Amino acid sequence: SDTAPPTFTRLYTISSHATIPDPNNPPPEAGQGGKFMYQTPVVMDSATLAGAGVTAGLPTALQSAPNVVFVYGASYLYATSNLFLAAFALTDIEAGTAKWFYYKGGGQWSSNESDAAQLLASGQVEGTHSVVWNAPLHSFVLLHSPNVAAQFSATPWGPWSAPVTVFGKDDAWGTKLLHHTGQDQIQRSLIPIYDSSGNAVDINDTVDGALYSPNLIDKFTQNADGSVTLYWAV
């Protein structure tokens, strides 16, 4: 209520990275922590895991878990980060990362975040991302930016299909929804903004718009012809 608001307790830190002295020259992701600064969780029950044929590829401790949480992470590199994978039993959600397993490639798992391996091929910039399991397609579906691209995999860890562009900045709808300098009259604000000294603030009206954070909605439509319609927000 207004007089008795809810209170929250911090349970644990999922991922962190030491201070980077020069942000313009950050260290590579290999061998580092901080790979799960931004996450997308996918929860799957044991029956679905078995039907997908992935149970045997899980760490032994998770193979009998009623529900498994897969966490897809992006690192401190943010928009230029690759994609990383961790997993834990849903019953251990309050236990912290001591109960997490990190996919290190080649069917192997590790208890150390620094061992988490890149899931996507080099050069496939992942950026902001979302992942869902789509039962009719029997696939994990990944959407990521900067242009919104889709990739698919039969297993949580890949291999992932080649990226397919779903929505681009210069597509027909992209030119209607995003600012293109010199081509439209879109402005960030019709109201002038001033700083504390009374000076007008440059809000970058001359900078082109960009697609950001394609978030898959964990619902879908299975059509009569067998195809699937996916919904996402941008």
Query: Region 129-139: what's the mean pLDDT?
Result: 93
pLDDT of 55 strictly over 90: yes
Confidence of residue 218 (pLDDT cuts 50, 70, 90): confident
Cα–Cα distance measured from residue 127 to residue 221, given in angstroms and rounded to the nearest whole number = 27
| pLDDT for res 203 | 78
Contact 36, 113 (CB under 8 A): yes
What is the band of 68 on the pLDDT scale with cuts at 50, 70, 90? very high
Q: Is the pLDDT of residue 206 over 90?
A: no
Q: Are 85 and 113 in contact (CB under 8 A)?
A: no
Residue 126 has what pLDDT? 66
Q: Above 80 in pLDDT, residue 123? A: no
Block residue for tokens 């696939």:
139
**pLDDT, position 69:** 98
What's the confidence (pLDDT) of residue 127? 67
Which amino acid is residue 141, in one-letter code? V
Is 48 in a helix, a strand, or coil? helix
- For the entire predicted model, the pTM comes to 0.87
In the chain, DSSP assigns E strands to 38-45, 67-74, 84-89, 101-105, 108-110, 129-134, 139-144, 148-153, 164-167, 215-222, 228-233
